[in-house]
Structure 1
Amino acid sequence: LVKTILHRVYGKLLGIRAFIRKQFGNIFYNIINGFMVPLKEEHKQFLMRVLLPLHKVKSVSMYHAQLAYCVIQFLEKDSTLTQPVILSLLKFWPKTHSPKEVMFLNELEEILDVVDPAEFRKIIKPLFTQLAKCVSSPHFQ
């Protein structure tokens, strides 16, 4: 019932869609914050199958801050998720949209602040390959 109501409101009130998306991000953040450690497999699947693919949506800038917070929450609860999270980000990395690339770089910086050194070693090569592409980009400042 709640899903149907929200879907109808979202469909009819175009002017508040950004607000609705932001609130969903805040709701997810609060739910993830309450997950107990060790994380259940269904929670990890939610990260991999629902949250991370949201990075490939063209309008990710509308909710990126909330999405990044959610991803960080998962990594703080389970450092073994670092490799799949980073590899997913690299998979969805923007090819031609430099403002979106800056968002990804900012998220990557936040992720690296919480990464366990042992987990970092697992993703160092693909990560630095992508960073090298960024540095060699004509948009690099």
Structure 2
Amino acid sequence: MEVGWGGRDGLSRRKASWITSLPEIRAVNNDDRVPLLIRKMKMCEAKYDFSSPRIDAAQKEGKRKTLVEIVEYMSSDRSSNLFADSRIYAPLCSMVAANLFRALTICEGDEEDLYDPEDGEPLMEPDWSHVSLVYEVLRRFVTASELNTKLARKVIDQRFVLGLFDLFQSEDPRERECLKTIVHRIYGRFVPMRSFIRRTIQHVFHHYIYSDDAHSSGVAELLEILGSVINGFSVPLKPDHREFLLRTLIPLHSAAALTKYYPQLSFCVSQFLEKEPQLAESVLLG
């Protein structure tokens, strides 16, 4: 998935030169730090070609150092209550979207021929040196205790969350692990998004079960999120929760790559049975 936030080649080079000319965030007065942070986040929307380490090497390293500076500032005592300032919400999410919502490298082939953790190495994203830092910025944002979630919902909206779900197709396990943590936190903190997130997980699973070209990347991680979600369901279960078990989780047992996510799937099913043991017959009958 590619989203139209980000830089063209000329813009990338121009922004890179601006980055190196700016002072460090910690070196300016308190009143100037948030405007400078916003400016640096905007500059970090610049994107580069990672097909070769020689292409734009200096610019890529300049951006990486700026992202490191942003993460370190967000981790420091100087950034106390930073995420209470709603001025950073839109620029931060715009930078995240420009870097994360991109075309992924997807291996072609039958499901059984793709990466198995016991057989070989997974496909690693070439731009991970930048992407990993952007994920860390987003993680700190959605987990910040001072975050005003009511205002943040204007940028962490359904479109943004759908962009994150598209990235679960990544074959890089590091990326899927980051996504799992972030989507789980969004589910926990952005209460009005919960129903939408559950429906989206269900849609992803149905696409995987019933589409000929779907692969299992992300299924295990989404099941891990779901295991925590099911644990919070009240008893008696709502009809749509029971329907999720019977029409989505049970059919996942028939997919070709069951072994890749069976432990997570079994945990989810067991969570349902602990809450309503009478569902056991329906589960056994499939």
Normalising to structure 1: TM-score of the pair?
Answer: 0.71
Partner of 2:227: 109
2:256 corresponds to which of 133, 138, 141: 138
Letter paired with 2:40:
V
Give aligned pairs, total: 138
| Match in the other structure for 2:135 | 25
Q: Which residue matches 2:202?
A: 90
CA contact (8 A) 1:47 1:71 kept: no
**What residue in structure 2 maps to residue 59 of structure 1?**
170
Residues 45/28 of structure 1: CA separation in 2 closer, same or farther (3 Å cut): same
1:11 aligned to 2:128? no
Partner of 1:2: 40
Name the amino acid aligned to 2:222: F
Question: How many Å separate the matches in 2 of 1:51 and 1:60?
Answer: 19
Deviates more, 1:40-49 or 1:63-72: 40-49
> Cα distance, 1:116 vs. partner?
4.5
Tell me which residue corresponds to 1:70: 182
RCO higher in structure (CA 8 A, sep ≥6): 1
Alpha carbons of 1:13 and 1:78: their partners in 2 closer, same or farther (altered >3 Å)?
A: closer
Counterparts of 1:111-130 in structure 2, within 5 Å, are 111-113=229-231, 115-117=232-234, 121=238, 123-128=240-245, 129-130=247-248
Corresponding residue SS for 2:127 = helix
Q: Deviations over 1:74-109 (max 9, x none)?
A: 232244532211101222335231243223223322
Instruction: Give the CA deviation at 1:7.
Output: 4.1
Aligned positions of 1:33-52 closer than 5 A: 33-34=143-144, 36=146, 39-40=149-150, 42-43=152-153, 46-52=156-162
Query: C-alpha distance in 1, partners of 2:147/2:42?
Result: 32
Q: Which structure has greater helix proportion?
A: 1
Which consecutive unaligned segments of at least 5 residues does structure 2 have?
1-38, 54-125, 209-213, 260-286
Percent sequence identity over aligned pairs:
10
How far apart are residue 123 of structure 1 and its match? 4.1
Structure 1: which 5+ residue stretches go unaligned?
A: none
TM-score by length of 2: 0.40
Structure possessing the higher radius of gyration over alpha carbons: 2
Amino acid at match of 1:11: Y
Q: How well do the aligned residues superpose, as a CA RMSD in angstroms?
A: 3.2
